[in-house]
Chain A
Amino acid sequence: MLERLAAFAEKFTGPAELRWHANHSVAAAIRKGALVENSQSRASGISARVFENGVFGFAAFAEEDDAALTKAMETARSDAGFMKGRSATPRELARPQAIGEGRFDYRSPRPAATPKERVEILKVLDEAARAKYPELVNVDLSLSAHTSEKALATFEGARAYSYVPRAVLSVRMSLEANDGLVELYDARGGFGEIQDQDFSLAALSSWLDGLHEELRRKAEGGQCEAGEHDVVLDSDLAGILAHEAIGHTCEGDLVLAGSIAGDNLGARVASEKITLGDYAGRGPDGKSTFAIHVDDEGAVCRDVTIIENGVLRGFLHSRRTAAELGAEVTGNARAFSFLDEPLVRMRNTAILPGKDRLEDMIAAVDHGYYFKRATNGQADLTSEFMFGVSLGYEIRKGKLARGVRDTTISGTAFDMLKTVTHVGDSFKWSGAGNWCGKKQPIAVGTGGPAIKCRIRVGGRA
C-alpha cells in the first residue's frame, strides 16, 4: 500500500498527505458471568488532505483502490477551494526539520490469540473472582485490543508505515456498603497484542486480591473533606496530571486559542523539581504503553521538553501551529482513523523522576490524602484541570489511615505545580495506557513518579 500511496503522492503540487489507515480491534466482556460483548472489528480506508488557499481540504473513503485515491485527492482539493474568498485567513505551514521514513512494526511474533482463548481468559478470571469474593454485587471483566496500522506518503517525501498495538484487561468490582454501592476499577496490560501479555489467573491472582482488599477498605472508608489539602499523588495520577493539567494547555492549537500557557513561555510555572515532557518513540525509558515515530503529517517525532526545572520551555506543534507561532514542528499531528484529519495531540507525556521516596512524602503530610488511581480528567485554557479519583487514603500525622470514596481533585496547574515539594524516585507509566478525547479519541501514554503537592479536593464532609 505504501508504494501505491507514494506513486499517487508524486502527483501533488503542494503540501498534502495520503494515508491508508486501518484500526483493528477485539472486544470481549463478561458481566456477572454473562458474555455481553464478543466481537472483532476492522475499519480501514484511505484519506487525502491538501493545503490550499490557507485552508485544509480533507476527504476519506472506505474503498482503497486507485479510483478511491483519485477521488479523495480531487475531493480534498475541491473542498479546500470551496471557502476561497470567504472566512479563510491566509495561513502557512512550517516544513518539518526531518521528514519521516521507515517501518515501525510492533506486530507480535507470537500467534494471535484465538476467539476461544480470549473468552477463556475472561471466563477463568470471572469464575475465580466470583468464587473467591462472593460478597461482591458485581464483577465486570473486559478484554480489549486495539491496533493502529497506517501507511503515509506526503508531498514533502515522507514514506512511513506503522503497526502499533495495545491490549488491556480491565476489572470492575462492586460492593454494597452501609451507605450504598462502592466500586473500584483497574486495568492490566498495555503495549503489545493480547498474546504478548500474561493474563493468566496465576499471573493476575494477587492483583485481583489486592483490588478486592482496596475495595473493602474503600467501602469501610468515608468521604473526603472538601477544600485544599496536602496530598501525595501516586504515579498514575502524576501521569494524568502531566497530560491534563499541562499537556493540553501547551498544545499549539490551544495556545493559539488563548491558552494561558502562551503568555508564560520562559516563565517559572512550577517547582524547580518539575521537569515534564511529551516524548516520541516509547518515551524516555522505552517502556511506554504507546509508540510513535512519524506523525500523520510526515514529520519525524521529536521529544518536547515542556517544563524544565520549573520553567516553561516549549509547546506541541503541528505544521500549522508551528508556522503561526514561529516554532519548530514537533511531530504531534495525529489522527485516530482514516476518517479523521490530524490534530495536535499528545504522545507519551510524563513528569520525569526526582530523588524523593514515597514513604518520606507520606510522612511529610500531617493531614491530607494519598491518591492512588484516577478515572477521567479534563483541562482548560486557564490551566485549571480536574480529574476523578477512584482510590485513595487519608493521611493522618504522616501515616496512611482509612480509605476514601470517589472524589475529584482540581487546581490551576501553573499555581499548583509551584506547591510541589517532593518528586518521587520511581517512575511508572499509568496503568495499561490511556485514551484522550479531543474531537477524536487517541491512544496516549502518561506517566510519572509520585509527587507531593497542595491541591483542591472535592468532598461532602
Chain B
Amino acid sequence: MSALETAPIEEFVAELVARALRQGADAAQARAVSSRYFEIDFNNRGVELLRSTENETTTLTLFCAGKRGAANLNGRAANEIEAALLAARAAADAGLVDAANDVAEAVSEPASAHGPQAPDREAMAAGVDAFNATLAADHPLVRSRDCVYSFTDAETAFANSRGVRQKERRGGYNFAGMITARDRGRTSSINYSSAGSRAPFASLFDAGSMRRLVRDAPRLLEPAPVPEKFIGDVIIAPDCLATVVGALASALSGGQLFTGATPYKNRKGERIASPLFSLSNRPRDAGFALGADFDAWGVPTQNLDIVRDGVLDAFLIDLFFARKLGVAQTAGAHNFSVKPGEKSLDDIIASTKRGILFSRYSGGAPNSNLDFSGIAKNSFYVEDGRVLHALDETMVSGNFQELLQNIHAVSREYVNFGNSSYPFVAASGVTISSK
C-alpha cells in the first residue's frame, strides 16, 4: 500500500495538485470528499434494508494554456490516480481557451468540523420503531414506503496551485419518507417530506413537514375537483415552495445570466417580487444541519441576501461565471431561506376568497421564462376562508415571475428542512382547473 493511499485527505489533494504541476499543468485544483454512510430503509410493515457504505470521490481539474479539463475518480488505487491525472491532462489539452479558466485566489481558512462523526444506530433504530408504532396506533389508514433514515459523515478537502487549502467535516442525520392513505380499495396520492438534523430526530414525525402530511393524508382519500376553471389564490406549502425557489435560483444563476436566457438579467436593484418576499442564501448558518464553508473552487462561502423585501439584491454566481461576466463571485453553495411573515396560516386561509392550499407540485420543469404548469398534488380547495375538500386531478398554470409579484401573505410558521427554510406563501393569479 502506497503512502498516498493512507495519507490524510488534505495531504492527498495537495499531492494531486503537486503531481499535476509536475506533469506540466499551469495550474490545478483537487477536491476530495470522503464519506461514510449508514441508512435504515423501512416502511410501515417493517425494516427492509440496512446499508453501510464508504467512498471517497475526487475531482481533479487541470489548466493548461488557458484551457481546462477535469477527471473524477473514487478510491485511491495507484493506477486509478495515474489514469485520472492523464485523463484530466488530455481533457485540458483538448479544451477551449478561455480567459475565465483559472484557479481561485482565496483565503485558506482553518479546518472546521460540524456535527457528530458516527451515527447513534440505537437511537436511529428506536426512532424507526417509534415511528411505525405511532403510525399503526394513531394513523391506521396511513401507509409509509421508501422511508430512509440515514447518517452521513463527510470530510471534504480542497487544494489548488495558488496555495489555497480548505478542509471541513460534516456529520448529520437525514430522514426522507413517503406516505399514502389507503382504505377500502381507495388510495391517496403519494406525499413526501425530508429533512436533515445534526442530532437524531426526537421523533421522525418532526422531520420536515411529516407530521402535517400524515395528519392530512386520510382526507386525501375523498378528493373532488374544483367546481370550475378559475383564476385564484394559491397558498404554497413549505415543501412546495422549494419548487418556486429552485426555479428562481436557477434564473438568478451565473450560468443563466451568461446565456441571457433569464428574465432577471440587468435587474439587480429592481423590485422582482412582493415586498413581503425576502430570500437569502445561508450556507454558513448554524441553524441549518447542512451547509458548506467553501465551494467547489475552494472559495469560502458567505451568507447573502438575494431578494430583500422584494428587491433583487444579489445574483448567485460561481467563480467561472463571475469571471465570464466580469462581476464578483457571490455563491457556490446553497442553503436557501425565505423570511417568515406576520400572519398565521389559519389567518391566511381565513382571508382567502377562492383558491387552493397547494401542497405539492407535480409538473413540467419551469422553462426559462418561468412559466409553469402541473398538477396540484395532495392539495385542498379553499373557499370563503375555509378548507373544503381535497383536490382531485387539478392542474395549476401560471408564471413564477408573476406569482412572486402577486404574493400577498407570508406565514409566521415555517419548516426548517436542514438545508433550507420555508414558510407558507400566498399569491394570486394562478389558473386552476379540474377535469
Given contacts A62-B54, A408-B373, contact A31 B259 (CB under 8 A): yes
Asked whether any CB of chain B lies closer than 8 Å to the CB of A58, the reply is yes
| A111: interface (CB < 8 Å) | no
The answer on a CB contact under 8 Å between A43 and B72 is yes
A253 touching B375 in the complex, CB below 8 Å, given contacts A87-B47, A119-B94, A458-B363? no
**Known: A62-B56, A181-B263, A181-B369. Is A83-B74 also a contact (CB below 8 A)?**
no
Interface residues of B in 351-382 (CB under 8 A from A): 362-365, 367-369, 371, 373-375, 377
Contact across chains for A376 and B324 when beta carbons are under 8 A apart: no
User: Top 9 A-B pairs ranked by shortest CB distance?
Assistant: A388-B364, A458-B373, A89-B46, A62-B75, A79-B50, A115-B94, A138-B259, A41-B72, A180-B369
Of A8-16, A32-40, A291-299, the one touching chain B: A32-40
Q: Which residues of A contact B55 (CB under 8 A)?
A: 45, 60-62, 339
- Say whether, besides A38-B70, A88-B47, A45 and B375 are in contact (CB < 8 Å): no
Q: A55-B50, A82-B50 are in contact. Are A36 and B320 (CB under 8 A)?
A: yes
- Interface hits, B158-204 → A, CB 8 Å: 180, 182, 185, 187-190
A341 CB to nearest chain B CB (Å): 6
Query: A196 interface residue, CB < 8 Å from B?
Result: no
Q: Per a CB cutoff under 8 Å, which of A115, A224, A227, A260 touches B69?
A: A115
| Between-chain CB contacts (< 8 Å), 24 pairs | A39-B72, A41-B72, A43-B74, A56-B50, A57-B50, A75-B52, A79-B52, A115-B69, A137-B261, A223-B397, A257-B143, A339-B55, A341-B51, A382-B188, A384-B393, A386-B375, A389-B364, A406-B364, A407-B373, A410-B395, A439-B148, A456-B435, A459-B397, A460-B397
| A156 CB-CB contact with B under 8 Å | no
Question: Min CB distance, A34 to chain B, in Å?
Answer: 6
Closest Cβ of chain A to B45, distance in Å, is: 5
Mark B44-78 against chain A: 1 for CB-CB distance below 8 A, else 0: 01111111111111010000000011111111010
Instruction: Please tell me if A128 contacts chain B, counting CB pairs below 8 Å.
Output: no
B96 touches A119 (CB 8 A): yes
Taking CB atoms, residues of chain B closer than 8 Å to A182 are 367-369
Given contacts A62-B54, A87-B129, contact A227 B229 (CB under 8 A): yes
A39 contacts B90, C-beta separation under 8 Å: no
Contact residues in A for B320 (Cβ distance below 8 Å):
36
List A residues at the B interface (Cβ < 8 Å). Answer: 30-32, 34-36, 38-45, 54-64, 75-76, 79-80, 82-83, 86-89, 91, 114-116, 118-119, 123, 137-138, 140, 174, 179-183, 223-224, 226-228, 253-254, 256-260, 263, 320, 339, 341, 375-376, 378, 380-382, 384, 386-390, 405-408, 410-412, 439, 456-460
Q: How far is the CB of A125 from chain B (nearest CB, A)?
A: 14
Residues of B within 8 A of A412 (CB): 393
Chain B contributes a number of interface residues (CB within 8 A of A) equal to 88
Judge whether A381 and B189 touch: CB under 8 Å: yes
CB distance from A403 to the nearest CB of B (A): 14
Which of A39, A42, A43, A227 sits near B91, CB closer than 8 Å?
A39
Which B positions have Cβ atoms within 8 angstroms of A? 37, 40, 42-43, 45-57, 59, 68-75, 77, 80, 83-84, 87-88, 90-96, 98, 100, 121, 125, 128-129, 132, 143, 145-146, 148, 180, 182, 185, 187-190, 229, 255, 258-263, 320, 324, 362-365, 367-369, 371, 373-375, 377, 393, 395-399, 431, 433, 435
Q: Tell whether, in the assembled complex, residue A456 and residue B373 are in contact, meaning their CB atoms are under 8 Å apart.
A: no
